[in-house]
Structure 1
Amino acid sequence: MRIVADENIPLLDSFFGDIGDICRVSGRTMTAADVQNADILLVRSVTRVNQALLEGSRVRFVGTCTIGTDHVDRQWLSSNRIAFSAAPGCNANSVVEYVLSVISLHAERRGVANWSKLSVGIVGAGNVGGELAHKLDRLGFDVLCCDPPRAEQENGDGQEFVSLEDAMACDVVTLHTPLTREGDYPTLHLFGRERLAALREHQLLINTSRGEVIDGSALLGRLEEPNAPAVVLDVWEHEPRIHAGLLDRVWLATPHIAGYSLEGKVQGSEMVYQALSRYMGLPARKQAGQFLPEPALAKLSFTSAAEEMDSANIAIRSCYDPRRDDARMRLAMSLPTDEQAPAFDRLRRDYPVRREFSSVKIQLKGTSKSMQDTFRALGFKLKL
């Protein structure tokens, strides 16, 4: 059994080593020749999986260790009886923690002492957007969710949805949609010139979904105008070729790593491993938890003298501070033009270990119930 896999998928040997012989290749440059003799193909979002890649190969199972599937021609796979599995929700919490850290920095930058006074509009309430809404609600934020496909399908049952215009009126607007080019609700350039013009200086726009959801040229034009919003981009049009002018104008820039916590990446591998095991009729005995190493930061302690928001900010940024990724990104993009795209991919390939909030135990001595509730809502483990 021959397995061809993106070299950036973590724990390949641990999960798949006893299923077949693993051949690691670059996901960005993977070709039909690379997969010609493969039985199993494992990818991430940078590989286009379609007829051009797979026709004539012996691949019978394709797994993507990612939430998104817009890089996969699922109809062609189905018509050629090639089994497929994704990892929906695997890194949702990682993206949520990225957004929470960004909001924390934004509140501090604007002088907002209580970050929950900021309203948040979530565009796309799937695995990531839904989890973000849940955490923000527990933290006391005013949250508005816009998801027209879900609103239509659920027909008013359960969660309440608002219009895109209502979501865009919030202090923070964060995008969590798939990339769709057709249908009733396409998201390609969902944020074009007109919608970007509606955003104002006090607002924050975050995109961790797909780069093409925002029209990059229109965004650059808007950021060159007065009263432009603050913008945080983790995803970019035409990755890995980043528009230098746009990079210079956004507040924070990161190289498509919002979902790159170790827990999120390992869970993606585990979910595809489980699907492959079911496909092959094998027992799925391995779990992500058995492979996670001890975190570098295991415990933080706060006393009764600690302020709630200051303590939360310290804990959040001890686990993840996007300004570090922003600095690395800008250094990489300062290279000569022909070296920038490979540098972008290296930032992702060589991404440092980042652990989620749940890996840290928070010791609270004599603190308020409100402070305890905040840390619980964020996902930290508590020791009282």
Structure 2
Amino acid sequence: MTEKKKPIVVVTRKLPDVVETRMMELFDARLNSDDAPLTHAQLIEAAQVADVLVPTVTDRIDGDIIEKAGPQLRLIASFGTGVDHIDLKAARARGITVTNTPGVLTEDTADMTMALLLAVARRLAEGERLVRSGQWKGWGPTTMLGHRIWGKRLGILGMGRIGQALARRARAFGMSIHYHNRRRVYPDVEKELEATYWESLDQMLARMDVVSINCPHTPATYHLLSERRLKLLRPHCYIVNTSRGEVIDETALTKMLSKGEIAGAGLDVFEHEPAVNPKLLRLDNVVLLPHMGSATIEGRIDMGEKVIINIKTFVDGHAPPDRVIETLL
């Protein structure tokens, strides 16, 4: 009996060793050992030979790549939760299934969001820089004053898994939970979180002390926090973003932060990353991180295991568990 040929699986970036080893065992895996991001031309080459393409959120799988893909490419098993880097309509038109890795990064991202919230409100990054620069002259009653978060109102934009996990953490810190979402969450979730729902995003923004961005980037959420909406925020308000940079008008945000029209921001993502607005780099009231909200060893391994399950299930002729359903396209 002829042994079934292993599918060619092209992985665009370096993944944890344990994940790559398992892929080599199960598939004809083509790995990226030096972790150099693939160029557009290299992504086309990969799509022309792969049965399964495993990109990450930094690989833009646009319509051109999908159009030029070989007929054998039937699955794009993305290593990441967001799918805004993939032209889903083009994939659907070619009959290519798309999967992602939802759920496994919830707690890690919520941890980082809470850390950024604390860091910007209590000026942790500024204080760390002060010590390292040798300019700290000792404790003083008015030195490095920040703001307590206990008793403050937190407005969560996007009350999905991560938004709810953040709400649980914030409640433990004594914050009042408010949220705006495309759909209102179930009553039992609202009761558990003691969360106040705002149908109007504008009305919520005008009343919050901290605003956290936890919604995905889609055409509908591009610049959802526009200059007009940013101007609704009160001057003492802080913004935290661990979702996608494109949700905020970064130019407008930078301008308002520099003028003191917003108290501060904690940003793990940027509109044009890895490029960061040079003006943001010069602001002391901003904490900047290199898109590391989900960067835990455990999380990355869990993501890899989900990718493997999606591929194996698909190759075996079944619907993969994390298929991006048509309603999301």
Matched residue type, 2:96: I
Residue number in structure 1 paired with 2:48: 36
Q: Distance in 2 between matches of 1:257 and 1:66?
A: 13
Matched, 1:95 2:109: yes
Question: Which residue, out of 135, 138, 154, partners 2:169?
Answer: 135
Residue number in structure 2 paired with 1:161: 197
* Distance of aligned partners of 1:231 and 1:106 in 2 relative to their CA distance in 1, 3 Å threshold: closer
Please tell me whether the aligned partners of residues 175 and 208 of structure 1 are also in contact (alpha carbons under 8 angstroms): yes
Per-residue deviation, residues 273-302 of structure 1 (Å, max 9, x unmatched): 11112112299xxxxxxxxxxxxxxxxxxx
Report the secondary structure of 1:117's partner residue: coil
- CA RMSD in angstroms comes to 2.5
Matched residue type, 1:59: L
Q: Distance in 2 between matches of 1:198 and 1:38?
A: 48
Q: Distance in 2 between matches of 1:216 and 1:102?
A: 17
Residue number in structure 2 paired with 1:14: 21
Matched, 1:170 2:208: yes
* Distance of aligned partners of 1:174 and 1:71 in 2 relative to their CA distance in 1, 3 Å threshold: same
Once the two structures are TM-superposed, the CA of residue 9 in structure 1 deviates from its matched residue by 2.9
Larger helix proportion, structure 1 or 2? 1
Matched residue type, 1:105: A
Once the two structures are TM-superposed, the CA of residue 166 in structure 1 deviates from its matched residue by 4.2
Matched residue type, 1:16: M
Residue number in structure 1 paired with 2:275: 241
Please tell me whether the aligned partners of residues 9 and 44 of structure 1 are also in contact (alpha carbons under 8 angstroms): no
Once the two structures are TM-superposed, the CA of residue 139 in structure 1 deviates from its matched residue by 4.6
Q: TM-score with structure 1 length normalisation?
A: 0.65
> Aligned residues, how many?
275
Deviates more, 1:72-81 or 1:266-275: 72-81
Q: TM-score with structure 2 length normalisation?
A: 0.75
Q: Distance in 2 between matches of 1:233 and 1:126?
A: 19
Q: Distance in 1 between matches of 2:49 and 2:60?
A: 18
Please tell me whether the aligned partners of residues 199 and 229 of structure 1 are also in contact (alpha carbons under 8 angstroms): no
Q: Distance in 2 between matches of 1:103 and 1:281?
A: 44
Residue number in structure 2 paired with 1:203: 237
Per-residue deviation, residues 20-48 of structure 1 (Å, max 9, x unmatched): 23223444524202332111111111112
Per-residue deviation, residues 34-84 of structure 1 (Å, max 9, x unmatched): 332111111111112233113332222111121111112223223322222
Q: Which ranges in structure 2 are unaligned for 5 or more consecutive residues?
A: 1-6, 124-144, 191-195, 319-329
* Distance of aligned partners of 1:98 and 1:229 in 2 relative to their CA distance in 1, 3 Å threshold: same
